[in-house]
Structure 1
Amino acid sequence: MTIPDAGAAISSSIAVSGVSGNAPSALQVGVDIKHTYRGDLVIDLIAPDGTAYRLKNSSSSDSADNVITTYTVNASSEVANGTWKLQVRDVYSADTGYIDAWSLQF
Structure 2
Amino acid sequence: MQTYSNDANVNIPDAGSAVTSSIVVSGRSGNAPTNAQVAVNIVHTYRGDLVVDLVAPDGSSYRLKNSSGSDSADNVVATYTVNLSTEALNGTWKLKVQDVYSGDTGYINSWSVTF
TM-score by length of 2: 0.91
Aligned pair 1:22/2:15, yes or no? no
Distance in 1 separating the partners of 2:47 and 2:93: 22
The residue that corresponds to 2:109 in the other structure is 100
For the pair 1:12 / 2:21, whether they are aligned, the reply is yes
> Which residue of structure 2 lines up, in the alignment, with residue 66 of structure 1?
75
Unmatched runs of 5 consecutive residues or more in structure 2: 1-9
Structure 2 letter corresponding to 1:83? T
- Residue 18 of structure 1 deviates from its aligned partner by 1.7
- Give the Å deviation of 1:89: 0.1
- TM-aligned CA deviation for residue 95 of structure 1: 0.4
What secondary structure is seen at the aligned counterpart in 2 of 1:39? helix
Percent sequence identity over aligned pairs:
71
Q: TM-score, normalised by structure 1?
A: 0.99
Q: Distance in 2 between matches of 1:71 and 1:11?
A: 17
How many residue pairs align between the two structures?
106
Consecutive aligned runs of 4 or more in structure 1 exceeding 6 Å deviation: none
- Indicate whether 1:45 and 2:58 are aligned: no
TM-align CA RMSD: 0.4
**1-structure distance, mates of 2:78, 2:102:** 23
